[in-house]
């Protein structure tokens, strides 16, 4: 098996889903990729999608709950890319199977609970010589890179926020998935019960959607709402000097009575998370999405914000994803699928080129990925899809300073 060089053979679990199809469509053109096998519960739809790709791509039916079939699917594979959600059900067992099979691993896990358990597999991955990056999508993924750039601008960092506009997080229409949407299940999971954050130098469980005032440099203060996500727990895992790490969401329908009512019904045990996800999916399809507010005073669509010191003085830095790609309903409408699947494809490119060589289980911000180089590749790939008018890094991210 060729672990660190060219001609990688890839198993794309969930590769014809709303997120995975973008990763596969991009990765098929990489010179360092020899073969991509899409593995999906819906074999017919996966094969139909594979038929639209080039001759590197094929498809098989796979139920990831069948551990024997999962292991067999990984025979002869160099890299597993996993977009099979919800990750609180499938993240840990698929990563464990990849490690046992000696396959490198990338995913878009956006649930904090399995992220904690997957990071515990770091010793096993090191022993197996496997490089695994968990959460290499939009958030987490791009958000981690934005926050890491913000941290690198300061001399010391004590607080870190990652955040994004909930209004842009609409599911993709095209997918092999049937039944309850995994992205909606994730949202319900992370907005009900309790979620883990890092505050006052300690991990704590707290109520999701609690308000947090954000003093983003150069903008009027705005309110973010705590949203359960891996960034809140992986940054202090990798940077123990942090005192606070919280993931936030704003905009969209996060303040709506309908969303709050659905979440309350789940918390009271009156409806299941699956039923709530179905209701929320229906609601999203009925409403009309407007154009995201643009301009110098608009809240960022996605950002990382670091608070600490610069030259021994209090300082903060915000790094935001800006530009025409994040305009909802505009000429360059991005969508969750491209925003999440393309970073995963860029991870495939970096790994297959040997630019991520360290064995172990890591989150994106650990330092093994150069954030500027990675984001530059993301925008290059988005440009090939016609999702951005400019692929230049400086046209797509904006750094704001408090000084």
Question: Do 73 and 84 belong to one domain?
Answer: yes
CATH number at residue 191: 3.30.360.10
What does the block give as tokens for 402?
């408090």
Residue 2 lies in a domain: no
The whole-number average pLDDT for the span 198-203 is 97
| Residue-wise pLDDT tens digits, 119-131 | 999 999 999 999 9
Specify the pLDDT at position 290. 46
Total domains in the chain come to: 2
Q: Please tell me the total number of residues recorded for the chain in this structure.
A: 403
Question: Do 312 and 200 belong to one domain?
Answer: yes
| Residue-wise pLDDT tens digits, 330-356 | 454 677 889 999 999 999 999 999 888
Specify the pLDDT at position 1. 43
Number of Cβ within a 10 Å radius of residue 40: 29
Question: Do 316 and 192 belong to one domain?
Answer: yes
| Residue-wise pLDDT tens digits, 349-375 | 999 998 888 999 999 999 899 999 999
d(CA 377, CA 369): 12
Question: Do 132 and 146 belong to one domain?
Answer: no
Question: Do 119 and 177 belong to one domain?
Answer: no
Q: What is the mean pLDDT of the chain?
A: 88
- Computed over its alpha carbons, how large is the radius of gyration of the chain? 20
Phi, psi (degrees; rounded to nearest 5) at 290:
-90, 175
Specify the pLDDT at position 292. 47
Specify the pLDDT at position 381. 96
d(CA 7, CA 206): 46
Specify the pLDDT at position 289. 47
Distances in whole angstroms, Cα of residue 155 to Cα of each of 40, 58, 312: 46, 49, 8
* CA 44 to chain CA centroid, nearest Å: 27
Question: Do 308 and 191 belong to one domain?
Answer: yes
d(CA 379, CA 375): 6
Specify the pLDDT at position 169. 54
Q: pTM for this one? A: 0.90
| Residue-wise pLDDT tens digits, 255-306 | 777 777 887 787 788 878 788 777 777 766 655 544 445 555 678 889 999 9
Higher pLDDT, 247 or 252: 247
What does the block give as tokens for 212?
């947090």
Residue 3 lies in a domain: no
CATH number at residue 119: 3.40.50.720
* Percent of the chain whose pLDDT exceeds 90: 69
Question: Do 26 and 100 belong to one domain?
Answer: yes
Question: Do 118 and 209 belong to one domain?
Answer: no
Higher pLDDT, 46 or 288: 46
**Residue recorded with tokens 């704001």:** 400
Question: Do 146 and 120 belong to one domain?
Answer: no
Question: Do 122 and 153 belong to one domain?
Answer: no
Q: Decide: 40 and 66 in contact? Cβ < 8 Å.
A: no
Higher pLDDT, 202 or 185: 202
Smallest Cα–Cα separation from 359: which of 144, 114, 109, 128? 128
Question: Do 119 and 208 belong to one domain?
Answer: no
Q: Decide: 53 and 25 in contact? Cβ < 8 Å.
A: yes
The whole-number average pLDDT for the span 39-62 is 96
What does the block give as tokens for 232?
């809140």
Specify the pLDDT at position 291. 45
One-letter-per-residue 3-state SS of the chain: CCCCCCCEEEEEECCCCCCHHHHHHHHCCCCCEEEEEEEECCHHHHHHHHCCCCCCEEEEECCCCCHHHHHHHCCCCCEEEECCCCHHHHHHHHHHHHHHCCCEEEECCCCHHHHHHHHCCHHHHHHHCCEEECCCECCCEHHHHHHHHHHHCCCEEEEEEEEEEHHHCCCCCCCCCCCCCHHHHHHHHHCCCCEEEEECCEEEEECCCCEEEECCCCCCCEEEEECCCCHHHHHHHHCCCCCEEEEEEECCCCCCHHHHHHHHHHHCCCCCHHHHHHHHHHHHHHCCCCCCCCCCCCCCCEEEEEEEEECCEEEEEEEEECCHHHCCCCCCCCCHHHHHHHHHHHHHHHHHCCCCCCCEEECHHHCCCCHHHHHHHHHHHHHHCCCCCCCCHHHHEEEEECC
* Percent of the chain whose pLDDT exceeds 70: 88
The band of 170, judged by pLDDT with boundaries at 50, 70 and 90, is low
pLDDT tops 60 at residue 67 = yes
Domain of residue 107, residue span: 8-137+337-391
Question: Do 217 and 150 belong to one domain?
Answer: yes
Residue 1 lies in a domain: no
The whole-number average pLDDT for the span 17-39 is 96
The whole-number average pLDDT for the span 156-179 is 73
Phi, psi (degrees; rounded to nearest 5) at 182:
-65, -35
């Amino acid at each position: 098996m060729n672990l660190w060089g060219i001609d990688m053979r890839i198993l794309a679990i969930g590769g014809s889903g709303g997120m995975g199809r973008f990763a596969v469509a991009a990765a098929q053109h990489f010179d360092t990729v020899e073969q991509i096998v899409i593995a999906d519960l819906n074999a017919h739809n996966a094969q139909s999608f594979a038929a639209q790709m080039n001759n590197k791509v094929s498809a098989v039916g796979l139920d990831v709950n069948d551990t024997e079939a999962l292991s067999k699917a990984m025979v002869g594979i160099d890299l597993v890319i996993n977009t099979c959600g919800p990750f609180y059900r499938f993240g840990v067992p698929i990563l464990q199977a990849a490690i046992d099979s000696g396959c490198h691993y990338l995913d878009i896990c956006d649930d904090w609970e399995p992220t904690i358990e997957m990071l515990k597999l770091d010793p096993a991955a090191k022993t197996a010589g496997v490089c695994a990056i968990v959460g290499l999508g939009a958030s987490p993924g791009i958000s981690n890179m934005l926050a890491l750039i913000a941290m690198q601008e300061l001399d010391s960092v004590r607080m870190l926020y990652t955040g994004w506009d909930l209004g842009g997080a609409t599911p993709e229409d095209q997918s092999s998935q049937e039944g309850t949407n995994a992205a909606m299940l994730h949202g319900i999971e992370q907005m009900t019960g309790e979620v883990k954050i890092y505050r006052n130098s300690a991990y704590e469980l707290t109520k999701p959607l609690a308000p947090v005032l954000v003093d983003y440099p150069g903008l009027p203060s705005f309110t973010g709402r705590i949203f359960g996500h891996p960034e809140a727990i992986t940054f202090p895992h990798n940077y123990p000097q942090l005192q606070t790490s919280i993931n936030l969401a704003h905009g969209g329908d996060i303040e709506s009575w309908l969303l709050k009512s659905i979440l309350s019904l789940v918390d009271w045990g009156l409806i299941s998370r699956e039923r709530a996800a179905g209701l929320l999916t229906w609601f999203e399809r009925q409403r009309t999405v407007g154009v995201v507010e643009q301009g110098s005073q608009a809240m960022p669509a996605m950002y990382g914000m670091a608070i600490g010191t610069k030259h021994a003085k209090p300082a903060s830095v915000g790094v935001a994803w800006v530009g025409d790609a994040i305009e909802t309903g505009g000429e360059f409408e991005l969508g969750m699928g491209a925003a999440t699947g393309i970073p995963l494809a860029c991870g495939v490119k970096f790994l297959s080129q040997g630019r991520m060589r360290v064995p172990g289980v890591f989150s994106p911000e650990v330092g093994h990925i150069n954030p500027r180089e990675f984001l530059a590749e993301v925008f290059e790939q988005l440009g090939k899809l016609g999702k951005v008018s400019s692929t230049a890094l400086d046209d797509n991210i904006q750094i704001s300073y408090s000084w």
